[in-house]
């Protein structure tokens, strides 16, 4: 066991989660990568001498098993997420539920089982989204789920504070990951994102990972129940008209 103890990154096989796993391993944590794509998790784990487990955030037994057998658990970062876009009047209940199950219920299950097992004085970080505070057309399910995540983090911070466990959220804007790669397929959409980001560019997974590592560290020892906008200032302007851009593609 390393001096810093164990860190678990849920959704750590790609994107922000992978960057966070790498950063925590570099810091000296014994990292466990949990992901529904266990083959990708194993490949990532091999790269950094980490441990990989199959972890499906929509399945409570899977989440619980992902945290079993870990010693000296000090840091948990929850990165799992997806979105099924669609106008509210057209979105199917199944697509709504898929987004809620992964983003909101999944965050609850991670907080529940991480909170049971993490040592007193540990740190839990949940990756939320700019959409927790900024609405977007065709993003009703995702916006609702992520707003719920940020409030869930505040409740968890209150409940776990007697054990000095800190719980915080990161609210990224558009970040270059496999999850956002599809944006480039919609003409003008990425340009509109960048136009509405004061710092004039998308973010990198490593920039979000840097915030997660900070929140896990003793430098953030007096921070809990907070949500950090790491989005180049995008929260200061407006969200792109996703629905309008998609409709413009239609024949």
Q: Are the CB atoms for 192 and 173 separated by under 8 Å?
A: no
Tokens of 171: 């609210």
Q: Give the CA count within 13 Å in the CB-facing half-sphere of 233.
A: 9
Residue 162's alpha-carbon distances to 87, 90, 115, 192, in angstroms, are 42, 45, 12, 44
Active-site residue, 239 included: no
Say which of 29, 142, 193, 239 is annotated catalytic: 142
Q: What span, in angstroms and rounded, lies between the C-alpha atoms of 124 and 116?
A: 12
Rounded CA-CA distance 124/207 in Å is 18
Report d(CA 21, CA 31) in Å as an integer: 7
Provide the phi-psi class of 250: left if phi over 0, else alpha when psi is between -120 and 50, else beta. Answer: beta
The catalytic site residues sit at 142
């Amino acid at each position: 066991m390393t001096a810093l103890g164990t860190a678990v990154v849920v959704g750590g096989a790609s994107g922000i989660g992978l960057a966070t796993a790498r950063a925590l391993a570099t810091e000296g944590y014994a990292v466990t990568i949990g992901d529904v794509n266990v083959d990708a998790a194993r490949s990532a784990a091999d790269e950094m001498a980490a441990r990989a487990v199959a972890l499906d955030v929509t399945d409570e037994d899977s989440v619980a098993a992902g945290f079993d057998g870990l010693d000296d658990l000090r840091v948990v970062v929850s990165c799992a997420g997806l979105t099924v876009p669609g106008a509210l009047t057209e979105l199917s209940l199944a697509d709504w539920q898929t987004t809620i199950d992964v983003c909101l219920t999944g965050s609850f299950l991670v907080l529940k089982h991480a909170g049971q097992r993490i040592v007193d004085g540990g740190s839990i970080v949940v990756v939320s989204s700019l959409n927790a505070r900024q609405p977007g057309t065709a993003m009703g399910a995702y916006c609702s789920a992520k707003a719920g995540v940020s409030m869930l983090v505040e409740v968890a911070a209150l409940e776990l504070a007697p054990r000095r466990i800190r719980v915080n959220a990161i609210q990224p804007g558009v970040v270059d990951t496999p999850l956002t790669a599809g944006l480039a397929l919609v003409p003008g959409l990425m340009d509109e994102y960048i136009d509405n980001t004061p710092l004039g560019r998308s973010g990198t997974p490593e920039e979000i990972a840097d915030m997660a590592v900070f929140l896990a560290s003793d430098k953030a020892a007096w921070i809990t129940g907070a949500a950090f906008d790491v989005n180049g200032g995008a929260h200061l302007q407006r969200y792109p008209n996703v629905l309008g851009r998609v409709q413009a593609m239609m024949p």
